[in-house]
């Protein structure tokens, strides 16, 4: 708000304000009557000299005076007849006309009078002028003009149209006479202006004070209100009349009072907080209070500015709520949950009490979303959140971390771990019960299952990130047990951590060339003549030493990199065979490599396999593929075609670990295998256990019947070999009795030279 232009405006409009015009008209009432009588008196005296002219002069003058009286009367009757400006103009014109006609005495008639009448004229005009000083006082400009019109011509006449030597002196006195009132007028005029300006300014300030959207108040040392504006009362809801007696200690809400008091002793204060008004309306106010002092710098009270920040505060609250709550269920979201758990561990109760955390994850929720649509998914989540809220007591806090994951925290259940655990079981039951009844949504009956991971939060345990991680882990453990419920288990967690670390390292293993190829010979049972070899992978882990495939192959499957590794191994095996062939060391029937049956599903597996052999200039019979019985059973339907295709192209396949998958041989005969590798399990106790040898005999019979080559795995002792010899001759074996898997150079040296 710019004050200056407003000031000028007010000044302009107040130049001719109601007060001024009314005063002019009111004062004119008596003065016009006096003037009328004065004109009659002058005419009576001067008629002796000029009977006709003076009479006419007096009549004209009095007509004007009567007109002015009439306007005064009209103004009194009805001010609104004309605008203020018009009333002012009427007054101005008529009064100046009156003055002009009256002044003709001084410059026209005066020449024709004798000294006595001349003096009379001077006195009379002087009388008129001084009369106007009183009646025209409110408007300085009219007053000065009026006096000037009457006196100035007279002064000129007295000086220049010399009526006699003494008139100069008279004129001089007249001038002096004029200077007095005129300067007085000018002074009042200037003062008036200043006064009006000051008044305008204070009006503005008053208006600002009164109408500001800011509560303003001042108070003395005893907290009595001295002055307060409308907004102050809006907020504090007091009848305005009563503020004179209002003491701030008696506010309906005492919360801001501390700050109001402190202001006087300690200086400026700010209160930003809630305030409940007399009519129980809740506000959020921002109040600044400042001390004010007297001339001697002694604090004598305070000034306060209050702003109603309720709307802003509400909006902010709403935003805060949204940022911490899930918009679908209105439960806490991840952020709200994190805040909550931080509060939980910082609470005093956390020093001595156990708390419970339940991590609830729906099974197959993604499937529901995909098949029934997201709207349905949302309805299910809402229904579940409704059931949770209904089933759990007030102590429990429920959050939805997004998706189908809910976390329930029950704080400070017990100070004894056993009791805490019992509590955990009770709550688990409640949570499981929620899913016992099917859900009916849009007339569809849905059974929903869930897994629950449980963490018992120890007293004084502060690491919230770790609690969340343990919750995650417990859920992982729950999903991997068949009860669907698991308490967080530190041992399993350790194992899991190691696995994760390994999985991470795996990503770099092939890049860093950490995989190594080992070869184990396969020999004839009768004369131990070298027949072929199996390639077995090893991982030279930078810190853990050499790892065996059982320790990392499952991870490579999980990480989805086994296929890549297999292709890489195949290339290396091909290179190896090429080298042996080049050095004339190749005296094996084939090298076998292990392939997981799942990999067979890859696009054009057989073609790719053959292409790689060809690119190295190898024969398709140089490499055999070993596929475990178990993995074939798992992927039987698609393995069939690929194995057929490989067989057609001359690539041989073996059933590995035969006997562990409980499949019937005739069933496997449907696939085009030509070698059977009998699992180590059946050889282990063959000397002591005659049942094992009977079983082995029957497999050997069937194998022979279907014309399989048979390899016995894991032969470690001479005794085992002898027992096997008694069962049949046309067999081959692989085992520590001949050699452990060896590095390629060792294998070459020992078996190929």
Picking from 392, 474, 456, 462, the residue whose alpha carbon sits closest to that of residue 418 is: 456
Nearer to ligand C2E, 329 or 693 (CB): 693
Residue 710 belongs to what H/E stretch? Answer: strand 709-713
> Following DSSP, what letter does each residue of 515-527 receive, concatenated?
EEEEEEEEEETTT
By the rule CB under 6 A, 453 interacts with ligand C2E: no
CB 737 to ligand C2E: min, Å:
7
CB 626 to ligand C2E: min, Å:
6
Which of 240, 244, 548, 705 is close enough to bind ligand C2E by CB under 6 A? 548
Query: Which phi-psi region, left, alpha or beta, contains residue 91 (left: φ > 0; alpha: ψ -120 to 50)?
Result: alpha
Give the gyration radius of the chain's Cα atoms: 58
Question: Which structure tokens are listed for 295?
Answer: 């001339």
CB 473 to ligand C2E: min, Å:
28
Picking from 136, 131, 171, the residue whose alpha carbon sits closest to that of residue 38 is: 131
> Following DSSP, what letter does each residue of 679-695 receive, concatenated?
-THHHHTTTT-HHHHHH
Question: Which structure tokens are listed for 416?
Answer: 């004894």
Instruction: Name the β-bridge partners of 275.
Output: 283
d(CA 331, CA 385): 8
Which of 549, 568, 630, 647 is close enough to bind ligand C2E by CB under 6 A? 549
CB 652 to ligand C2E: min, Å:
15
- Find the binding residues for ligand C2E in span 43-72 (CB under 6 A): none
What's the residue count for the chain?
Answer: 753
Nearer to ligand C2E, 428 or 510 (CB): 510
SS3 590: coil
Distances (CA, A) of 281 to 158, 215, 236, 248, 317: 82, 16, 10, 18, 17
Burial (CB count <10 Å: 0-12, 13-18, 19+), residue 107: middle
By the rule CB under 6 A, 139 interacts with ligand C2E: no
Angle, helix 690-705 to helix 718-727, in steps of 10 degrees = 50
Alpha helix (H) ranges present in 223-306?
230-236, 257-266
d(CA 440, CA 606): 50
d(CA 3, CA 314): 34
By the rule CB under 6 A, 550 interacts with ligand C2E: yes
> Following DSSP, what letter does each residue of 398-439 receive, concatenated?
EEE-STTEEEEEEEEEESSHHHHHHHHHHHHHHHHHHTTSPE
- Find the binding residues for ligand C2E in span 8-27 (CB under 6 A): none
d(CA 400, CA 329): 8
Picking from 312, 306, 311, 342, the residue whose alpha carbon sits closest to that of residue 324 is: 342
Nearer to Ca ion, 146 or 518 (CB): 518
CB 569 to ligand C2E: min, Å:
5
Which of 273, 274, 714, 728 is close enough to bind ligand C2E by CB under 6 A? 714
CA dihedral 328, 334, 335, 336 (to 10 degrees): 60
Residues 6+ apart with CB under 8 A from 191: none
d(CA 753, CA 746): 11
- Find the binding residues for ligand C2E in span 466-525 (CB under 6 A): 520
By the rule CB under 6 A, 661 interacts with ligand C2E: no
By the rule CB under 6 A, 596 interacts with ligand C2E: yes
d(CA 174, CA 170): 6
d(CA 653, CA 244): 106
Q: Would you tell me how many other CB atoms lie within 10 Å of the CB of residue 508?
A: 10
Q: Which does 644 bind (CB under 5 to 8 A by kind): Ca ion, ligand C2E, none?
A: none
> Which span sits near ligand C2E by CB under 6 A: 122-130, 245-253, 358-366, 591-599?
591-599
CB 582 to Ca ion: min, Å:
27
Question: Which structure tokens are listed for 243?
Answer: 């503020």
By the rule CB under 6 A, 569 interacts with ligand C2E: yes
> Which span sits near ligand C2E by CB under 6 A: 38-46, 254-262, 304-312, 734-742?
734-742
CB 601 to ligand C2E: min, Å:
14
Question: Which structure tokens are listed for 267?
Answer: 């200086």
Nearer to ligand C2E, 432 or 596 (CB): 596
Nearer to ligand C2E, 233 or 539 (CB): 539
- Find the binding residues for ligand C2E in span 232-261 (CB under 6 A): none
Q: Which does 569 bind (CB under 5 to 8 A by kind): Ca ion, ligand C2E, none?
A: ligand C2E
> Which span sits near ligand C2E by CB under 6 A: 139-147, 218-226, 592-600, 661-669?
592-600
Instruction: Name the β-bridge partners of 355.
Output: 457
Which of 34, 208, 328, 553 is close enough to bind ligand C2E by CB under 6 A? 553
CB 324 to ligand C2E: min, Å:
49
Q: How many residues bind ligand C2E (CB under 6 A)?
A: 23
| Site track 107-126 with ligand C2E (rule: CB under 6 A), x = hit | --------------------
By the rule CB under 6 A, 629 interacts with ligand C2E: no
Nearer to Ca ion, 404 or 713 (CB): 713
Which of 361, 505, 622, 656 is close enough to bind ligand C2E by CB under 6 A? 656
Which of 183, 736, 743, 749 is close enough to bind ligand C2E by CB under 6 A? 736
Nearer to ligand C2E, 412 or 518 (CB): 518
Instruction: Name the β-bridge partners of 713.
Output: 734
Nearer to ligand C2E, 369 or 520 (CB): 520
> Which span sits near ligand C2E by CB under 6 A: 248-256, 264-272, 464-472, 733-741?
733-741
C-beta pairs of 711-714 under 8 Å, 24+ apart in sequence: 711/522, 711/654, 711/675, 711/676, 711/677, 711/678, 712/525, 712/677, 712/678, 712/683, 713/657, 713/677, 713/678, 713/679, 713/680, 713/683, 714/679, 714/680, 714/683, 714/684
Q: Which does 741 bind (CB under 5 to 8 A by kind): ligand C2E, Ca ion, none?
A: ligand C2E
Nearer to Ca ion, 451 or 592 (CB): 592
Instruction: Name the β-bridge partners of 574.
Output: none
Nearer to ligand C2E, 301 or 659 (CB): 659
Burial (CB count <10 Å: 0-12, 13-18, 19+), residue 477: buried
| Site track 599-628 with ligand C2E (rule: CB under 6 A), x = hit | ---------------------------x-x
> Which span sits near ligand C2E by CB under 6 A: 404-412, 547-555, 575-583, 600-608?
547-555
Q: Which does 716 bind (CB under 5 to 8 A by kind): ligand C2E, Ca ion, none?
A: ligand C2E
Does residue 131 contact residue 35 with C-beta atoms inside 8 Å?
Answer: yes
Nearer to ligand C2E, 477 or 734 (CB): 734
- Find the binding residues for ligand C2E in span 156-185 (CB under 6 A): none
> Which span sits near ligand C2E by CB under 6 A: 489-497, 593-601, 633-641, 687-695?
593-601
Nearer to ligand C2E, 308 or 657 (CB): 657
Nearer to ligand C2E, 716 or 746 (CB): 716
Distances (CA, A) of 247 to 272, 289, 462, 504: 21, 16, 49, 72
Instruction: Name the β-bridge partners of 332.
Output: 325, 399
Nearer to ligand C2E, 140 or 594 (CB): 594
d(CA 555, CA 402): 28
CB 726 to ligand C2E: min, Å:
19
Q: Give me the residues that bind Ca ion (CB under 5 A), please.
A: 594, 626, 656-657, 713
By the rule CB under 6 A, 741 interacts with ligand C2E: yes
> Which span sits near ligand C2E by CB under 6 A: 154-162, 166-174, 544-552, 570-578?
544-552
Where do contacts with ligand C2E occur on this chain (CB under 6 A)? 520, 536-537, 548-550, 553, 569, 594-596, 626, 628, 656-657, 680, 713-714, 716, 734-736, 741
């Amino acid at each position: 708000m710019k004050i200056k232009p407003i000031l000028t405006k007010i000044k302009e409009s107040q130049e001719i304000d109601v007060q001024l015009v009314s005063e002019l008209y009111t004062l004119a009432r008596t003065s016009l009557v006096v003037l009328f009588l004065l004109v009659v008196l002058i005419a009576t005296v001067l008629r002796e000299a000029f009977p006709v002219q003076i009479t006419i002069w007096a009549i004209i003058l009095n007509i004007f005076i009567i007109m002015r009286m009439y306007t005064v009367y009209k103004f009194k009757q009805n001010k609104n007849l004309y605008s203020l400006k018009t009333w002012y103009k009427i007054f101005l014109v008529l009064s100046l006309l009156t003055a002009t006609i009256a002044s003709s005495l001084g410059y026209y008639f005066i020449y024709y009078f004798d000294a006595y009448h001349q003096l009379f004229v001077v006195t009379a005009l002087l009388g008129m002028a001084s009369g106007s000083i009183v009646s025209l006082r409110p408007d300085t400009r009219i007053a000065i003009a009026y006096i000037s019109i009457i006196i100035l011509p007279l002064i000129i006449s007295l000086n220049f149209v010399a009526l006699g030597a003494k008139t100069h002196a008279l004129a001089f006195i007249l001038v002096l006479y004029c200077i007095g009132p005129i300067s007085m007028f000018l002074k009042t005029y200037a003062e008036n202006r200043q006064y009006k300006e000051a008044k305008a300014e204070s009006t503005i300030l008053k208006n600002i004070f009164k109408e500001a959207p800011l509560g303003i108040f001042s108070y003395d040392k005893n907290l009595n209100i001295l002055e307060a504006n409308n907004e102050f009362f809006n907020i504090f809801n007091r009848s305005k009349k009563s503020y004179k007696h209002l003491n701030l200690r008696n506010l309906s809400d005492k919360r801001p009072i501390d700050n109001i008091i402190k202001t006087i002793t300690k200086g400026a204060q700010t209160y930003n907080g809630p305030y409940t008004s007399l009519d129980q309306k809740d506000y959020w106010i921002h109040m600044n209070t400042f001390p004010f002092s007297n001339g001697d710098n002694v604090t004598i009270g305070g000034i306060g500015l209050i702003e109603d920040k309720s709307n802003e505060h509400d909006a902010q609250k709403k935003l805060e709520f949204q940022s911490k709550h899930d918009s679908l269920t209105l439960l806490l979201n991840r952020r709200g949950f994190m805040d909550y758990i931080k509060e939980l561990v910082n609470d005093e109760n956390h020093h001595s009490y156990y708390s419970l955390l339940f991590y609830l994850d729906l099974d197959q929720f993604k499937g529901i979303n995909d098949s029934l649509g997201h709207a349905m998914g949302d309805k299910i989540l809402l229904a579940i959140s409704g059931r949770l809220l209904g089933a759990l007591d007030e102590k429990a806090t429920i959050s939805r971390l997004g998706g189908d994951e809910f976390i329930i925290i029950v704080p400070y259940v017990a100070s004894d771990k056993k009791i805490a655990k019992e509590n955990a079981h009770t709550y688990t039951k409640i949570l499981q019960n929620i899913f016992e009844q099917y859900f009916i949504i849009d007339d569809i009956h849905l059974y929903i299952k869930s897994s629950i991971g449980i963490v018992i939060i120890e007293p004084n345990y502060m690491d919230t990130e770790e609690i969340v991680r343990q919750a995650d882990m417990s859920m992982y453990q729950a999903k991997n047990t068949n009860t669907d419920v698991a308490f967080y288990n530190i041992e399993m967690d350790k194992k899991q951590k190691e696995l994760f670390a390994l999985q991470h390292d795996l990503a770099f293993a092939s890049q860093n060339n950490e995989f190594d190829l080992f070869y184990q010979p396969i020999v004839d049972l009768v004369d131990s003549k070298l027949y072929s070899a199996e390639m077995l992978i090893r991982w030279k882990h930078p810190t853990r030493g050499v790892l065996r495939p059982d320790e990392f192959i499952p991870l490579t499957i999980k990480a989805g990199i086994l296929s890549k590794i297999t292709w890489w191994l195949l290339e290396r095996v091909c290179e190896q065979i090429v080298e042996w062939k080049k050095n004339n060391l190749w005296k094996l029937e084939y090298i076998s490599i292990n392939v997981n049956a799942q990999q067979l599903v890859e696009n054009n597996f057989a073609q790719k396999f053959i292409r790689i052999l060809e690119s190295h200039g190898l024969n398709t019979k140089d490499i055999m593929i070993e596929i475990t019985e178990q993995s074939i059973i798992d992927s039987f339907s698609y393995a069939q075609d690929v194995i057929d295709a490989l067989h057609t192209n001359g690539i041989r396949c073996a059933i590995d670990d035969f006997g562990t998958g409980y499949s019937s041989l005739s069933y496997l005969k449907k696939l085009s295998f030509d070698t059977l590798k009998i699992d180590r399990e059946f050889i282990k106790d063959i000397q002591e256990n005659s049942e094992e040898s009977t079983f082995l005999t029957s497999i050997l019979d069937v194998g022979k019947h279907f014309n399989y080559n048979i390899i016995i795995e894991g032969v470690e002792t001479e005794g085992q070999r002898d027992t096997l010899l008694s069962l049949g001759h046309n067999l081959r074996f692989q085992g520590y009795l001949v050699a452990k898997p060896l590095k390629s150079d060792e294998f070459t040296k020992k078996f190929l030279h």
